[in-house]
Amino acid sequence: MERRTIGAAGLAVGAVGLGCMPMSWGYSASQRHGDRSVRTVHAALDAGVRLLDTADMYGPFTNELLVGRALKGRRSEAFLSTKCGLLVGDQHIVANGRPGYVRRACDASLRRLQTDVIDLYQLHRADPEVPVEETWGAMAELVTAGKVRSLGLCAVGAHAPRRSGAGPFAGTIRQLERIQQVFPVSAVQAELSVWAPEALEELLPWCAARGVGVLAAMPLGNGYLTGTLKPGQGFEPDDLRARHPRFTAEMMAANQPVVAGLRRIAERRGASVAQVALAWVLRQGPHVVPVPGAKRERWAVENAGAADVVLDDRDLAEIAGLPPARGSWD
């Protein structure tokens, strides 16, 4: 697989990563199978994937345990990314950026992942009660201690509240400019897909100008851009899509032209709909690495194959002409 670099230090990863969250959190509980997930990680590594993305909040904790189990004997093949800064309660999620907590969270992640070092440690969310520089400083100490190799920030999404007239990622860019003064940012993780292109406006150019990598989260639109979901199919109550405005029966039907457009290109290219959606993300810059989630071996291998799908100007123009996705958090 093509290699891409993350950050000024030139950390090499495969062009397509693997999001591990769906294996144990966020999607239908009935579809979670530990042994199958381990096989999925192995299949991804065999296909050339190197970046595995998890977080302590996924589960919570169970996703890191699963990834640690999957990497037993294969740790050297993976570029391991995890996150801290969010605590999951029964009914709520809160940020915790206190330096002492960050240090404890890192040690706990290392134990669960069964590794001596985390390749990329990301701040999931900044704590509004703690100056972000203090949190980032504690994370930088982990690099000095040899527990972490590089640092990243998860961007606040385009649907987050923002100042009037500001761009969708203006708040994230302000945070980035502050923490860059403390310790270099190697990567920013932000939602980026055919139906969520907002990061192209300011965030990607900001990162490109500073040698910061971009991990494209949800590049398949929570599964919608695979073309395998049907309007009105319904989701289990614990599935995050059960509450997502774009996954109502009405909005899923309304957004079918987006999938239809991708399918036309896929047929022309001899590729899957998902591969075309990922290939579009890859064309947004050499510093961009899509991180699609997958629970099954088949999907992980298919996603990895997107690195071999090359879109031309006609393809890109057709995608640019697709109607914007309907259904908003706003």
The tokens describing 99, both together, are 């330096």
| HSE toward the beta carbon, residue 221, CA cutoff 13 A | 31
Active site positions, annotated: 58
**How many angstroms separate the CA atoms of 113 and 134, rounded?**
25
Residue with tokens 């290109």: 265
Cα angle 250, 194, 57; round to 5: 85
**How many angstroms separate the CA atoms of 198 and 39, rounded?**
34
The tokens describing 154, both together, are 């998860």
Q: Smallest Cα–Cα separation from 20: which of 66, 60, 61, 57?
A: 66
96-113 core/surface letters (b: 16 or more CB in 10 A; e: else): bbbeebbbebbeebbebb
Q: Which amino acid is at 179?
A: I
DSSP class per residue in 79-112: EEEEEESEEE-SS-EEE---HHHHHHHHHHHHHH
